[in-house]
Chains A and B, each alone.
Chain A
């Protein structure tokens, strides 16, 4: 039973309550200057974007099969069965492969810090463990951001589209993208127009590297036999030459 967030862009009024609640939950500063920033960063883990007269949110998608989790060499990132992708700052060594691998360019780094950490939304893992909804969902005055079970939210999103076909772009963003995400989007217009990435592959990204990595035992064992065999044959030849050389 994995949790998800449904964000309905058609309901959003751009009040940025979600931003404030998020900053409070992480203990990050929040003021007018930060509210005006439209990029997520190490000090702003979610942001409301303005696209003409429409709004959209940016936050970690908490993918079903996250690239960041698969690439992290120390396992600092984990996909929990609850849904959130969590980060253990005590393990992280700062290689920033998660940032490179993320198809949504979500993970942010504390570039100025002496002992930097990666920062990203973790769908309020600690709150969800206690059965609470995310801080952003709780703060949303119009229900544009909603936390729930992923299956139920997908069904609800489909219902909204069916009930008001003229109001919605008839698709749900996040069902198939990179194998599915835990943040789902509804929009009145094609998703590219509210800044969502439509060039992301539909296959789970960890598959791209695992296809190669899983060959490792085969390569090592075959290689060992092959190289050992070549040495055995070629060394025999030089031993024979050596022996014949001595006889002369």
Chain B
């Protein structure tokens, strides 16, 4: 304990600093508009708040639908212990995406407009509807944690009754909008650098969302096991690592085939920033994929965690490349986010970590819960219920 206290304090100081910077940036955004708080321009209308907060935020929250599909639809109950943290991440993730949108929209007071003013030809319209509906689904998937905490048995039973159609709906909505975030960029064939522009963007975004979802599940299990002093569900996470390796391989193979068919490998010889960013992105994908095929790597918590982190960062790089850097040359401008853009983004991420931690501390996120039939999880490795601090 004596060793942990100063470490926690350092993190708290950093957290407070980030929040203060975010607060000041928020002040700038509110009183000086997008012009006073961002480096966006007529030729570069989307920046960090779309590229990271929205596009990465939605992808990082993909563990929710991935694990719901695995556990409840494919009925692979082994993964039940990591389902709740994944749902919590997704639920928080989507709330934070909406917060990011409120910063980015010129008229945040009109966030609701797409729900009443329709344009079915717009990808953004479809995303708006899917995200709204999926947020409701996530809220309902998340509610049992609250109901269990306070012992509300009857509403818990109601939710259980509708849970199967609800979960199928959630997976369908996720499929639609995860892929649609890629479809958004199909409209800019002349702006997007050809290493990233492909008619397959929706498929690539979808498959990669599944990979990020799995990687985030490993990531948050590792962190929470440290934060709460739980034993790590290692065999379970190791087998998730196996699934992740397969999904990554499928993704990389589609990516390779797509580039081969479009004949763009020649671009890799051109020494320009896009080429380096592409190699960075692909390198971050290939290395963990190869490593995860080794049992030794999967069974070592540190190595498994590092692979998950690499996968997460590879797709953050991918989303930023598609949403920001890949568009710079085609737009004819150079965009570097203003400090206030970065401050808001950091504050949103930090808030996400903090809320997750507090919630997981007070609510039954990681414990084995009594209302699910307990013998189903009995054959999986039961986690140590002892929580420290």
Contacts and interface: CB of A to CB of B under 8 A. Distances in A.
Contacts of B72: 231
Contacts of A41: 42
A33 interface: no
Nearest to B332: A105
A36 interface: no
Interface stretch (B114-122, B147-155, B305-313, B356-364): B114-122
Interface stretch (A88-96, A124-132, A164-172): A88-96
Interface string A47-58: 000000000000
Interface string B156-192: 0000000010001001100110011001101111110
Given A70-B121, A91-B113, A231-B73, A224 B187 contact: no
Contacts of A108: 42
Interface stretch (B3-11, B32-40, B239-247, B271-279): B32-40
A72 B110 CA distance: 14
Nearest to A221: B172
Interface string B131-148: 000000000000000000
A93 B119 contact: no
Interface string B32-56: 1111100011110110000000000
A144 B75 CA distance: 70
A199 B189 CA distance: 10
Contacts of A70: 119, 121-122, 187
A105 B331 contact: yes
A144 B61 CA distance: 55
A100 B188 contact: yes
B176 A219 contact: yes
B128 to A, nearest CB: 6
Contacts of A220: 172, 176
Nearest to A208: B186
A97 B124 contact: yes
Contacts, number: 177
Interface residues of A, number: 63
Contacts of A143: none
B223 interface: no
B107 A230 contact: no
A235 B77 CA distance: 11
B258 to A, nearest CB: 15
A141 to B, nearest CB: 30
Contact of B75 (A95, A101, A113, A231): A231
Given A201-B189, A234-B74, A92 B110 contact: yes
Nearest to A239: B75
B186 A116 contact: no
Contacts of B46: 96, 100
B231 interface: no
B352 to A, nearest CB: 23
Contacts of B125: 73-74
B43 A105 contact: yes
Interface string A66-110: 010111111110000000000000011111110111010101111
B73 to A, nearest CB: 5
Given A91-B117, A92-B110, A212-B183, 15 more contacts: A73-B119, A94-B106, A95-B124, A97-B124, A103-B190, A107-B42, A200-B190, A209-B121, A211-B186, A213-B183, A216-B126, A227-B172, A235-B75, A238-B77, A238-B376
17 contacts: A69-B121, A75-B119, A92-B110, A95-B124, A109-B40, A113-B33, A114-B33, A115-B107, A117-B106, A199-B190, A212-B186, A216-B126, A220-B176, A224-B168, A228-B168, A231-B73, A234-B74
Interface of A: 39-42, 67, 69-76, 91-97, 99-101, 103, 105, 107-117, 197, 199-201, 205-206, 208-213, 216, 219-220, 223-224, 227-228, 230-231, 234-235, 237-238, 242, 245
- Kindly list the 8 A-B residue pairs having the minimum CB-CB distance in the complex, ordered from nearest: A94-B106, A111-B35, A234-B75, A93-B110, A73-B124, A99-B45, A96-B45, A73-B125
Interface of B: 31-36, 40-43, 45-46, 69, 72-77, 104-108, 110-111, 113-114, 117-128, 164, 168, 171-172, 175-176, 179-180, 183-184, 186-191, 199, 202, 327, 331-332, 373, 375-376
